[in-house]
């Protein structure tokens, strides 16, 4: 497939409420949106899931844009299939989120040309996906209970609580006591150390689905050691950046559940490889979220519809995060979201709204 140009825009999408984690509070989601235009004038869309600052991962919005313009697009030479992208870009170290965005935009255009949906291309066997919701660290336990109550009433089928030292046992206890049957898990975002095994083992009494990424992303050995102390399944998130890292973590018994985030592993094609590995090893997987707009949310739903995704993910309704999405909103029905079945990723952005929230805009044009 040959391309005529790559259009980039950075948008500032207002959040419904501030989103506070160990890394700070966000009131807007700064998103890098990519449009690849083929020589047949077919547009393929994607978003880069990198945050504004290199706090969740080494990648950040401005850095990803520079990496794409300076190195990745010239390496593609305005011609590539989606399946060739990872191989062509492999010489450039890191940059998984930037690479994933380019691969997805090309894949969207490629599938539109062949009139195939992303869900079918990836091998989905479901038409709807169970919705979970991620709940940030609240100002107080009563405020946390109010927020979780709202999500339970909306019909979310799984609750994930962010935790950190001094915000773990008591908030989890209160939520579990209030909702003894609801599927519940916690996400530490690397906030603990190897010395915190006994502290995290206290959470075993709450019948959690999993503890997500308790230790540093590079500490695979530490996670393996922790898994011998804690009965609750350990789930790796930030540590899983490729098929190889997933293989290593499973071999070291550092994880018994894996969170697959396409942006973090380099794209949806690599995500399917990790899914297939985990399915063969009987390791449950679920699809994590990065506050995606409707563009990324549509693609994540297609991935989460694969057979190995047996746990509800973070693919919430659009209204969970945004007053207005940049695509038609994803609306939850009885705790599920429908998997898009249109060609490509199955959604198109609202260009007028995009223009109204665009902070920066530029293009790389074939000469």
User: φ and ψ at 69, to 5 degrees?
Assistant: -70, -45
> Measured between alpha carbons, how far is residue 125 from residues 82, 119, 120, 121, 295 in Å?
22, 8, 8, 11, 21
The C-alpha atoms of residue 180 and residue 176 are separated, in whole angstroms, by: 5
Locate all alpha helices (DSSP H) within 61-168, ordered by sequence.
Answer: 61-67, 73-76, 82-89, 96-114, 118-122, 141-154
Measured distance CA(38)–CA(31) in Å, rounded? 23
Strands, E, within the chain: which ranges? 3-21, 24-38, 43-48, 128-130, 132-135, 158-162, 184-187, 211-212, 234-236, 257-260, 285-287, 336-338, 358-365
Catalytic residue among 88, 99, 160, 162: 162
Other CB atoms within 10 A of residue 242 CB: 16
Burial environment of residue 166 by CB neighbours within 10 A (0 to 12, 13 to 18, 19 or more): exposed
Whole-angstrom Cα distance, residue 3 to residue 23?
A: 38
Query: 336 is written with which tokens?
Result: 């599920």
CA 177 vs. chain centroid, Å, equals 29
If you count them, how many residues does the chain have? 367
273 is catalytic: no
Q: Quick one: which H or E segment has residue 269?
A: helix 268-281
DSSP 121: H
User: Which one of 261, 273, 323, 324 is the catalytic residue?
Assistant: 261
CA–CA gap between residue 356 and residue 170 (Å, rounded)? 43
Catalytic residue check, 162: yes
Of 30, 29, 34, nearest in space to 8 by CA = 34
d(CA 357, CA 355): 6
Catalytic residues: 162, 261
């Amino acid at each position: 497939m040959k391309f005529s140009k790559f259009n980039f825009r950075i948008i500032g999408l207002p959040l419904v409420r501030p989103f506070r984690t160990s890394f700070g509070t966000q009131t807007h989601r700064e998103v890098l949106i990519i449009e690849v235009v083929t020589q047949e004038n077919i547009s393929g869309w994607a978003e880069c899931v990198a945050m504004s600052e290199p706090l969740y991962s080494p990648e950040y919005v401005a850095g990803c844009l520079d990496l794409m313009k300076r190195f990745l697009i010239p390496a593609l030479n305005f011609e590539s299939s989606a399946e060739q992208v990872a191989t062509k870009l492999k010489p450039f170290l890191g940059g998984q989120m930037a690479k994933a965005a380019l691969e997805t935009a090309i894949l969207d255009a490629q599938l539109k040309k062949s009139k195939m949906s992303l869900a079918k291309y990836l091998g989905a066997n479901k038409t709807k996906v169970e919705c979970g919701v991620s709940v940030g660290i609240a100002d107080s336990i009563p405020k946390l209970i109010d927020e979780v109550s709202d999500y339970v009433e909306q019909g979310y089928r799984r609750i994930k609580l962010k935790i950190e030292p001094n915000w773990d046992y008591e908030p989890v206890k209160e939520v579990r006591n209030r909702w003894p049957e609801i599927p519940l898990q916690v996400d530490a975002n690397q906030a603990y150390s190897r010395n915190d095994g006994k502290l995290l083992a206290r959470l075993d009494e709450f019948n959690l689905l999993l503890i997500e990424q308790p230790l540093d992303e590079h500490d695979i050995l530490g996670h393996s050691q922790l898994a011998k102390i804690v009965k609750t399944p350990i789930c790796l998130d930030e540590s899983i950046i490729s098929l190889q890292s997933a293989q290593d973590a499973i071999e070291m018994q550092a994880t018994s559940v894996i969170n697959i985030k396409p942006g973090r592993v380099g794209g949806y094609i690599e995500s399917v490889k990790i899914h297939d590995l985990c399915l063969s090893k009987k390791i449950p997987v679920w699809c994590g979220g990065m506050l995606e707009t409707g563009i990324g949310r549509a693609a994540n739903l297609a991935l989460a519809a694969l057979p190995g995704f047996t746990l509800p993910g973070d693919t919430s309704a659009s209204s969970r995060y945004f007053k207005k999405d940049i695509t038609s909103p994803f609306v939850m029905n009885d705790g599920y979201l429908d998997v898009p079945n249109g060609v490509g990723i199955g959604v198109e952005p609202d260009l007028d709204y995009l223009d109204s929230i665009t902070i920066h805009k530029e293009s790389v044009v074939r000469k």
